[in-house]
Amino acid sequence: MTNVVIFGAPGSGKGTQSEMIIKKYGFKHFSTGDILRKQIAAETELGKIAKTFIDRGQLVTDELIINMISKELDSTKGVSGIIFDGFPRTYAQAEALKKLLNKKGTDVTVMLNIQVDDDELIKRLLERGKVSGRSDDNLETITKRIQTYYKQTAPVIDFYKKEKTAVDIKGVGTIDGIFCSIAEAIDAKMTE
């Protein structure tokens, strides 16, 4: 079983590259952002709570996210691999994911750390905001999301460096070019 964590600041291209990984490898896709947006659209209890955090550029609580992922993992029997997109976003989430996977006799195979500078992130997210209709793709919330990334999410890189699964990926350039580096990293770790 191959478990890929696709990691990076908001707008680094996690969702975009996940689609490419699915096409090539056929892995199952877990995007915590997408799951939360579906819950918001369906106006569930979880969705109502999540919206208050997302609209302020903050992270949804670890407890809610870990519970959500734990339930999703129950539906993975027989899959050849999983892409964790936007999860883990805190050190506690990284520890929880390790425990959940270890219980299933598996672990993270590779963590792809997509690196993009802040100016480019802001440019992309403002551009996406014109068509996405996402309540968090506006300058004020984007700025907060980037601050939240440095404060709460960036420490996750150290977790995977210690695990020796982190690979840095230059996230600026063509989508196909970036995907080439990603596929190389996945193939190398799959055969280690």
By CB under 6 A, name the binding residues for ligand B4P.
8, 10-16, 32-33, 36, 53-54, 59-60, 65, 86-87, 89, 93, 124, 128, 136, 145, 175, 178
Give the Cα separation of 115 and 131 in Å (integer): 24
For ligand B4P, give the closer residue by CB, 25 or 47: 47
> What would you report as the CA-atom Rg of the chain, rounded to the nearest whole angstrom?
16
For ligand B4P, give the closer residue by CB, 81 or 85: 85
> What's the min distance (Å) between Cβ of 80 and ligand B4P?
23
Output the six-digit token pair for 122: 């802001």
The one catalytic residue in 37, 89, 124, 189 is 89
Give the Cα separation of 50 and 44 in Å (integer): 10
For ligand B4P, give the closer residue by CB, 29 or 77: 29
The one catalytic residue in 14, 37, 51, 124 is 14
Give the Cα separation of 109 and 190 in Å (integer): 7
Number of other CB atoms surrounding residue 111 within 10 Å: 26
For ligand B4P, give the closer residue by CB, 71 or 77: 71
89 has catalytic annotation: yes
Give the Cα separation of 47 and 52 in Å (integer): 9
134 has catalytic annotation: yes
Q: Which helix (H) or strand (E) holds 84?
A: strand 81-85
The one catalytic residue in 37, 51, 124, 145 is 145
Just list the catalytic residues.
14, 89, 128, 134, 145
